[in-house]
Chain A
Amino acid sequence: MSTSKLLQGNEACAEGALYAGCTFFAGYPITPATEVAEYLARKLPFIGGVILQMEDEIASVGAIIGASLAGKKSMTATSGPGFSLKQENMGFGMLCEVPCVIVDVMRGGPSTGVPTGPSQSDIMQCKWGTHGDHPVICLTPAYVQEIFSETVRAFNLSERYRTPVIVVFDEVLAHMREKIEIPEKGVLPVENRRRPTCPPSEYKPFDETKGDVPPMADFFSGYRQHITGLNHASDGFPVNASPRIHTDEQRLIRKVEGNRKDIIRYETVMLDDAEVAIFAYGVSGRSGKNAVEMARAEGIKAGLFRPLTIWPFPEEEVAALASRVKAIIVPELSLGQIIFEVERCVKGQCKVEGIFRVDGDPINPTQILDKIKEVK
């Protein structure tokens, strides 16, 4: 028996974390993400978990990485300005291969921007926010139910690939209330990181001979180890200018890019015979679905491709789509970001048209419908 609840997106995100086994949350108050922390503050103590309001956003991500190294499933949640502040330590998590979940509830920006309005303009920051080459898994739910289930999936991917995973949605989804079903324990899979079975004397935290995702030992478990944000050898100790850096960074990227089939998830709506496709994620994906229904009602062959995984980007899927439609429309709450990725994959096979909006309101289905009619 599942439990029905009427929840806002932020609360569903918190419920997803709890379902996935998160027992450690550290955060800092920020609109429009604060309810994630507030909800968990009411829940975590009752299961023996930790909720910390840290002194800033930087400390919050530091704390969740520390907790994860001690074996806890951990999460933080923030919005634009806080997401910017977290980037350096997120990079630490990526290089040191520390599982954790980072939620970014997008609001208008840059700078303080529009704290109470939705946006989709952090999407490139999700991919390139921290310096250096790094692996990124980023999920883009569009419904409150999906925020719940994608948060569970984020924890699972993070444990499976030993890397921070970003869940990104926006102010509208964060504060919208929808009825959701929380499945009983055991219905959705819940994964835990692979831990070493070798004797501690043989353990190396970044031993590539054990596969692209080497087993990870908890601090204080008898597997004494050194973890550093310097580029490191398989034993965890720093290396300078070495071919090892090149191959190890390639491995980090390969962990994600080499497992695209496993990581990439998307929804398609009436795409089989579509002549015009909409590529939209998150709140714009909802409007996209609506627009497709309106177009079909008028006999226009429109369809929707809605990625739930935005990074790694569904390159092959978009390329295949471009080969069979006349045009792809990309509605996004920015002045044009993800459209560049779409264009990169389309490679001129079809027309690509954007609908951009940054005035603090979501894109209306009618705006998309008008564009469908224009390009068909």
Chain B
Amino acid sequence: MSFNYDQYIRGGKLPHIWCPGCTYGIVFKSLLRAVDSLKIPKDDIALVSGIGCASRLPGYVDWNTLHTTHGRAIPFATGLKMARPDKNVLVVSGDGDATAIGGNHFIHACRRNIDITVIVLNNFIYGMTGGQHSPTTPVGHLATTMPFGNIDPTFNIPELAKGAGATWVGRGTAYHVPALDKLIIGAIEHKGLSVLEIINACPTTHGRRNKFRSPTDMLLWMKDNFLPITAFGKLPPEKTAGKFPTGVLFKKEAPEYCDTYYGMVERLMKQKEKGA
């Protein structure tokens, strides 16, 4: 039986705003399947976003959803999670939203290791505003604000997250869909701050200016260049240029922030009771 997406999609809110050829719809469906398989009740999950094409995703999903200001989804989500640590809080963001304007919040959420799942849809460009270069736009690529080719060095989002202290870091693509479902499940199940980078395609503002003749070419680029981490590890070093590992790239156990905070609260309240 095919998956019933309607149970999660808000009535009357489609069609979505994404352009033809955009891969966000693929991720959207993967997210719904992943959360469904975890059997999280709709009332017990919040999806928080900032600004950009990716940030419109929450509006379509029948959960508790919050569309905030540019780059600031993580602080709002932190407020929600600290207020209700028993609930699931997810953030969906883009490359610019998460790592440029929201970069400070991103690294500090990683450092705190608060149990929030941060899903970064990396399409290598500011899509909504028409194709300006982002912190992940490859060097040399054309963008409206880099008309002679991007000269800004890029962020590697998983490495950034790992360096900042995230305890679960993964990468998937909009092409490798069955693997993506599993990665989203893993990211949500992990207790602590998880960062999942999902490679996406923006044919409209990135692909067509950068020698991808069609949206399909962008998916084929993902197919050819993004390998499971085990396969990537077996590549001889001279063959890794332009290739990227996918899967769970890093994972460790560390105290989760809400647990630590409320553990302290419990201890202090007991202490006070005894004192009184």
Least CB separation from B257: chain A residue? A52
In the bound complex, do residue B76 and residue A55 qualify as a contact, i.e. CB atoms below 8 Å apart?
Answer: no
CB < 8 Å neighbour of A59 from B46, B64, B104, B265: B104
CB < 8 Å neighbour of B75 from A54, A227, A228: A54
In the bound complex, do residue B79 and residue A24 qualify as a contact, i.e. CB atoms below 8 Å apart?
Answer: yes
In the bound complex, do residue A67 and residue B67 qualify as a contact, i.e. CB atoms below 8 Å apart?
Answer: no
Q: A46-B272, A66-B77 are in contact. Are A52 and B46 (CB under 8 A)?
A: no
CA gap between A61 and B72 in the complex, in Å: 10
Least CB separation from B85: chain A residue? A50
In the bound complex, do residue A219 and residue B80 qualify as a contact, i.e. CB atoms below 8 Å apart?
Answer: yes
Residue A145, interface by CB 8 Å: no
- Dominant secondary structure at the A interface: mixed
Residue A64, interface by CB 8 Å: yes
CA gap between A9 and B44 in the complex, in Å: 40
Residue B268, interface by CB 8 Å: yes
Closest Cβ of chain A to B177, distance in Å, is 26
In the bound complex, do residue B59 and residue A238 qualify as a contact, i.e. CB atoms below 8 Å apart?
Answer: yes
CB < 8 Å neighbour of A55 from B46, B62, B84, B105: B105
In the bound complex, do residue B69 and residue A92 qualify as a contact, i.e. CB atoms below 8 Å apart?
Answer: yes
Closest Cβ of chain A to B56, distance in Å, is 9
Residue B261, interface by CB 8 Å: yes
Contact mask B98-122 → A, CB, 8 Å, 1/0?
Answer: 0000001101100000000000000
In the bound complex, do residue A222 and residue B68 qualify as a contact, i.e. CB atoms below 8 Å apart?
Answer: no
Residues of A with C-beta under 8 A to B104 = 55-56, 59
In the bound complex, do residue A64 and residue B79 qualify as a contact, i.e. CB atoms below 8 Å apart?
Answer: yes
In the bound complex, do residue A226 and residue B65 qualify as a contact, i.e. CB atoms below 8 Å apart?
Answer: yes
Residues of A with C-beta under 8 A to B69 = 62, 88-89, 92, 229
In the bound complex, do residue A65 and residue B79 qualify as a contact, i.e. CB atoms below 8 Å apart?
Answer: yes
CA gap between A50 and B85 in the complex, in Å: 11
Residue B42, interface by CB 8 Å: yes
Residue A48, interface by CB 8 Å: yes
CA gap between A47 and B82 in the complex, in Å: 15
In the bound complex, do residue A55 and residue B67 qualify as a contact, i.e. CB atoms below 8 Å apart?
Answer: no
Residues of B with C-beta under 8 A to A225 = 64-65
Residue A63, interface by CB 8 Å: yes
Number of interface residues of A (CB under 8 A): 43
Residue B135, interface by CB 8 Å: no
Interface members, chain B 220-272 (any A CB < 8 Å): 261, 264-265, 268-269, 272
Residue A110, interface by CB 8 Å: no
In the bound complex, do residue B59 and residue A226 qualify as a contact, i.e. CB atoms below 8 Å apart?
Answer: yes
Residue B87, interface by CB 8 Å: yes
In the bound complex, do residue B64 and residue A224 qualify as a contact, i.e. CB atoms below 8 Å apart?
Answer: yes
In the bound complex, do residue A72 and residue B83 qualify as a contact, i.e. CB atoms below 8 Å apart?
Answer: yes
CB < 8 Å neighbour of B58 from A48, A66, A221, A226: A226
Residue A183, interface by CB 8 Å: no
Closest Cβ of chain B to A309, distance in Å, is 27
CB < 8 Å neighbour of B67 from A50, A59, A64, A228: A228
CA gap between A226 and B60 in the complex, in Å: 9
In the bound complex, do residue A63 and residue B59 qualify as a contact, i.e. CB atoms below 8 Å apart?
Answer: no
Q: A45-B264, A219-B64 are in contact. Are A66 and B80 (CB under 8 A)?
A: yes
Closest Cβ of chain B to A244, distance in Å, is 16
Residues of A with C-beta under 8 A to B68 = 62, 65, 89, 92, 229
Least CB separation from B42: chain A residue? A224
Residue B6, interface by CB 8 Å: no
In the bound complex, do residue B108 and residue A63 qualify as a contact, i.e. CB atoms below 8 Å apart?
Answer: no
CA gap between A54 and B82 in the complex, in Å: 12
Closest Cβ of chain A to B238, distance in Å, is 41
In the bound complex, do residue B59 and residue A228 qualify as a contact, i.e. CB atoms below 8 Å apart?
Answer: yes
Closest Cβ of chain B to A215, distance in Å, is 16
Q: A46-B268, A55-B104, A237-B13 are in contact. Are A226 and B79 (CB under 8 A)?
A: no
Closest Cβ of chain B to A201, distance in Å, is 11
Residue A26, interface by CB 8 Å: yes
Interface members, chain B 40-83 (any A CB < 8 Å): 42-44, 46, 48, 58-59, 62-69, 72, 74-83
In the complex, 15 of the A-B residue pairs with CB atoms within 8 angstroms, ordered by the A residue number, are A26-B79, A45-B269, A50-B82, A59-B104, A60-B75, A65-B76, A66-B48, A67-B80, A70-B83, A219-B87, A222-B43, A225-B64, A226-B59, A229-B67, A229-B69
Which residues in A have some Cβ–Cβ distance to B below 8 Å? 24, 26, 45-48, 50, 52, 54-56, 58-72, 74, 88-89, 92, 219-222, 224-230, 237-238
Using A50-B83, A63-B78, A65-B79 as known contacts, list a sample of 9 further A-B pairs with CB atoms less than 8 Å apart, ordered by residue number in A: A24-B79, A61-B75, A63-B79, A66-B76, A68-B79, A89-B72, A219-B87, A220-B64, A224-B65
Which residues in B have some Cβ–Cβ distance to A below 8 Å? 10, 13, 42-44, 46, 48, 58-59, 62-69, 72, 74-84, 87, 104-105, 107-108, 261, 264-265, 268-269, 272
